[in-house]
C-alpha cells in the first residue's frame, strides 16, 4: 500500500478531482504512511492554536480538510473539547466516522475551493487547516469564509508550503500570501504568528517530497 500511495502524492493534479481520487484511495493507509514519514504538522498546529486560545477546553474548532482525523486527534489531545471536520474526500469522512468515533462532533463532506462553507457566521472559536492549501486556487474566497465563520478575536491557524514559495523545491509562491495581506489591509484579520520554513514530511523516501518545507501561520480575526 505504501508503494501505491507515495508516487501519487507528487503527481496528482492539484484539483478537487485530483484530491478526491488521491485521498479516497489513500484513506485506508493514510495514517500509517504519514506516521512513517514523521508528519508532525497536526500536532504542531494544535499546539499553536491552543497556545493562542484563552480557553481551549471550551473552544469549538473547525478542522478544514480533516482527512482521516490526524488533526482532530491532535486537537483533542491538546485539550479542545469540540471539533467539527470537513473534507472533500467522502471516503476519508466515511472512514473517520467509523474508525475514530468521538473525535469530531460533526463531519461534513465539503469543498473548500470556491464554495461557501456550510456554517453560520461566527460559528467557531478557531479554524485549523493542515496540509490542504496546495489544492486551493481561490484563496481570497476561502480566507474570507474562514473569517466569516470564526468569532471575533478567534484564530485561524494553517500550514502552507507556498506562502513565500518553497526554497527546497524551487516552487513559486501561489497568491495565498497576497490574499491574506489584502484581507489584513481591510482590517478583517491580523497576522500573529509566522514560523520559519519547517520540515513537512522528513521521513518521506521520495527525495523531492522530503525536501518540501512548510510554514505555520496564525491570524486573529477582527
Q: Is the dihedral of CA 86, 188, 120, 79 positive or negative?
A: positive
- The contacts found for 191-194 with CB under 8 angstroms, 24 or more apart, are 191/217, 191/218, 191/219, 192/52, 192/155, 192/218, 192/219, 192/220, 193/48, 193/52, 193/157, 193/217, 193/218, 194/163, 194/218
What pLDDT, on a 0 to 100 scale, did the predictor assign at position 5? 43
Give the pLDDT score at 26: 61
What's the whole-model pTM score?
0.85
pLDDT at 109: 96
The region of weakest confidence among 30-34, 67-71, 81-85, 171-175 is 30-34
Residue 100, pLDDT above cutoff 60: yes
Distance of CA 106 to the CA centre of its chain: 17
Mean pLDDT value across residues 190-204 = 89
How many domains are contained in the chain? 1
- DSSP 3-state assignment of 156? strand
Average pLDDT, the chain: 87
pLDDT of residue 11: 54
Residue 211's pLDDT is: 78
Quote the distance between the C-alpha of residue 100 and its chain's center.
18
Q: 103 lies in which domain range?
A: 2-221
Q: What is the pLDDT of residue 194?
A: 97
pLDDT higher than 60, residue 2: no
Q: What is the CATH number of the domain that holds 70?
A: 3.40.50.150
Amino acid at each position: 500500500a505504501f508503494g501505491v500511495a507515495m508516487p501519487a502524492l507528487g503527481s496528482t493534479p492539484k484539483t478537487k478531482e485530483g484530491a478526491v481520487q488521491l485521498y479516497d484511495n489513500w484513506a485506508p493507509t493514510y495514517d500509517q504512511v504519514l506516521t512513517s514519514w514523521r508528519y508532525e504538522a497536526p500536532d504542531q498546529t494544535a499546539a499553536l492554536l491552543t497556545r493562542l486560545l484563552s480557553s481551549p477546553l471550551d473552544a469549538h474548532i473547525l478542522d478544514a480538510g480533516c482527512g482521516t482525523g490526524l488533526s482532530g486527534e491532535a486537537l483533542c489531545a491538546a485539550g479542545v473539547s469540540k471539533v467539527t471536520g470537513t473534507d472533500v474526500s467522502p471516503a476519508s469522512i466515511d472512514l473517520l466516522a467509523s474508525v475514530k468515533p468521538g473525535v469530531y462532533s460533526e463531519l461534513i463532506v465539503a469543498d473548500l475551493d470556491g464554495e461557501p462553507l456550510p456554517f453560520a457566521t461566527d460559528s467557531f472559536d478557531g479554524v485549523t487547516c493542515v496540509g490542504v492549501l496546495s489544492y486551493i486556487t481561490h484563496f481570497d474566497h476561502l480566507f474570507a469564509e474562514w473569517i466569516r465563520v470564526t468569532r471575533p478575536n478567534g484564530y485561524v491557524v494553517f500550514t502552507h508550503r507556498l506562502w513565500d514559495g518553497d526554497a527546497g523545491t524551487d516552487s513559486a509562491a501561489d497568491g495565498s500570501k497576497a490574499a491574506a495581506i489584502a484581507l489584513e489591509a481591510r482590517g478583517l484579520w491580523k497576522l500573529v504568528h509566522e514560523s520559519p520554513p519547517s520540515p513537512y514530511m522528513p521521513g518521506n523516501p521520495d527525495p523531492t517530497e522530503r525536501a518540501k518545507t512548510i510554514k505555520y501561520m496564525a491570524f486573529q480575526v477582527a
